Structure 1
Amino acid sequence: MTGRTLISALILALVAGQGAARVPDASPRPVPRPVVAENSAAMAPVVVRDDATIRPMPRPSIGAAAPSGAGAGLRPRLRPARAGVPTRVVEVSSSVALTRSARPEPRPRTPYQTASLTAAGVRSQPSTVVTGPQGAVCGDKAIRGQSLAPIPGRLRGCGVARPVRVSSVDGVPLTRPATMDCDTARALKTWVAKGVKPAVGRLGGGVGSIRVVADYACRTRNNQPGAKISEHGRGKAVDVAAINLKNGVALSVLKGWTDPVQGKLLRKMHAAACGPFGTVLGPRSDRFHQDHFHLDTARYRSGPYCR
């Protein structure tokens, strides 16, 4: 190594040693940027006066317009509803009338329900519990109908122990089934066979049907308050208003009694009923029988009562 090269190496080593001795403890911090004038206005602190009061605005009522302006930002926001949190219970004033729920409609009457007749004369059907098939009843093939269960009396003296519902007698249908006892059913058959049919003969093609307007009904006589129980209330009476002929003509008690032709036939039938029945009442008896024949099987010591 030459002398010049040795001197250069010594100088470099001396310079490196001095530089290592002056290494700083931390790196220098960057110089902050100067503040821009337009940003200084946005960063300026807000000065609030000591006497200022900031209160939340009252909640608007339902349907009110939403507030606008600077005050809107000061209102507290409603918290969203959380699942599982019960809502507020609102008390209802007792003065508020509550509507009752509609009552269920009553069930329609069944054929087995029993209706009763009031003493004022409102007619209703008795029990229709059938105990036998449609066919001959009362041990007579000429009497058609059905046997019924015993009918208890709503009033003292009413009721039928062994009632039947008759639909036809001696081949002649009734305009509606009639409830009675067997004694009355047999008397009705006898009257039709020996009184009605002979009186009509072949007129109008013969007897078509018997118009029945009343049978069993628990009521007083003529529906009069305080009167005795009618024979209708014992199943011993039937009321007939007309004899219908097969050609459609009706021999009406109300309209035909005073007719020269029909009246003669009706009076024959009225007379023929006196015997099979214990009581026969017609237009000449009283004001209650102007439009029908009342026929019952009540018996008297003096014999049948026919008027």
Structure 2
Amino acid sequence: MTRGVGMLATVVAFCLLGSETSLAGAPETSLRPVLREQQLYPVALPSFAPDRSLRPVTRPADAQAASRAKARADMAYLTAAVAEAPATVTQAQVVPAKLTRAEKKARRKAGIGKVCRDRDLIGQEIDPIPGTLPGCGIRKGAIRLYEVDGVKLSTPSIMNCDTAKALEKWVDNGLKNSVRSYGGGVQEIKVAGHYACRTRNHKKGAKISEHGKGNAIDISAIKLNNGETISVLRDWRGGKKGRILKKMHKKACGPFGTVLGPNSDRYHQDHFHFDVARHRGGPYCR
């Protein structure tokens, strides 16, 4: 009996010792399978916590609308800022492209070169132009002008040398000084009209226009080296381009005897009219 009791005590002691050893070596975390949410977001959840969805929380409709409205406002602000920002002009854009040898050869062959004894006026001397109406025509010094002091004309323009020289003065002291470096400087003059045997404003029975004598040129826009255009019709009423147009219009008064623009009448809303006709009271500029 005593021996049986001793063996029972030994077994109990051994079991207790094994239990303590097993607890001492047990891992601190549970060996349960780890949920997918816990793999993505390693946060220890209590064993009694429900299986929560980790989908993004949907914001209220009014908050979403406010966010979209802010995004639209930000985009509108950026679009306006880009539109108002001055164009970036590289040195390559500012420097006019030089003629190739082939182009120079073609010009010489066509008789295009210095006209009116002025190296800054590039064109052709042409035969006198008879008028189809009384008072029309160019009897002396008729030319077809291509370029003025490095600035091209959009179309070769027929005029006399007095008009060409007045245009050169305006290009040097009026046009270039008004535009300056805006848009990289002036590249081309958009010509709306030159020689044409017609009456003033095409009115029947009116006097012969100065265009019919080779004394006038009409200009509708200025093309810049960065590709932009300053348009009389579109830009005269305001903004930076409007101020440039008004300045060049004013500076034409002097080199030319008559200067007309959008403030003169309904016939000149989309172009400037310059002519060399002289008036007793001085230049007529409107």
1:139 to 117, 139, 145: 117
Which structure has more helix as a fraction of its residues? 2
Question: Are residues 1:202 and 2:181 paired?
Answer: yes
Name the CA distance, whole Å, in 1 between partners of 2:225 and 2:238. Answer: 20
**Larger relative contact order (C-alpha < 8 A, sep ≥ 6)?**
2
2:281 maps to 302
Gaps of at least 5 residues in structure 2 are 1-109
2:147 maps to 168
Name the CA distance, whole Å, in 1 between partners of 2:117 and 2:146. Answer: 15
The 3-state SS of whatever aligns with 1:167 is strand
Name the CA distance, whole Å, in 2 between partners of 1:259 and 1:304. Answer: 25
What CA RMSD, in Å, does the superposition of the two structures yield over aligned residues?
1.2
Q: State the identity %.
A: 57
Name the CA distance, whole Å, in 1 between partners of 2:204 and 2:265. Answer: 17
Name the CA distance, whole Å, in 2 between partners of 1:302 and 1:170. Answer: 31
Q: Number of paired residues?
A: 177
- Can you list the C-alpha shifts for 1:112-171, whole angstroms capped at 9, x where unaligned? xxxxxxxxxxxxxxxxxxxx8210000100000000000000000000012100000011
Name the CA distance, whole Å, in 1 between partners of 2:168 and 2:207. Answer: 27
Instruction: Provide the TM-score with structure 1 as the length reference.
Output: 0.57
Name the CA distance, whole Å, in 2 between partners of 1:302 and 1:263. Answer: 28
The 5-angstrom pairing of residues 107-126 of structure 1 reads: none
1:246 to 208, 221, 225: 225
User: Is 234-243 or 256-265 further displaced after alignment?
Assistant: 256-265
Name the CA distance, whole Å, in 1 between partners of 2:279 and 2:262. Answer: 22
1:301 deviation in Å? 1.3
Name the CA distance, whole Å, in 2 between partners of 1:259 and 1:170. Answer: 28
1:156 to 131, 134, 138: 134
- Can you list the C-alpha shifts for 1:86-105, whole angstroms capped at 9, x where unaligned? xxxxxxxxxxxxxxxxxxxx
| Larger Cα-atom Rg | 1
Question: Are residues 1:228 and 2:228 paired?
Answer: no
1:217 deviation in Å? 0.2
1:257 maps to 236
1:198 deviation in Å? 0.8
The 3-state SS of whatever aligns with 2:198 is coil
The 3-state SS of whatever aligns with 2:230 is strand
1:259 deviation in Å? 2.4
Name the CA distance, whole Å, in 1 between partners of 2:163 and 2:128. Answer: 16
1:289 maps to 268
Question: Are residues 1:184 and 2:188 paired?
Answer: no
The 3-state SS of whatever aligns with 1:209 is strand
Name the CA distance, whole Å, in 2 between partners of 1:133 and 1:251. Answer: 32
The 3-state SS of whatever aligns with 1:254 is helix
Instruction: Provide the TM-score with structure 2 as the length reference.
Output: 0.61
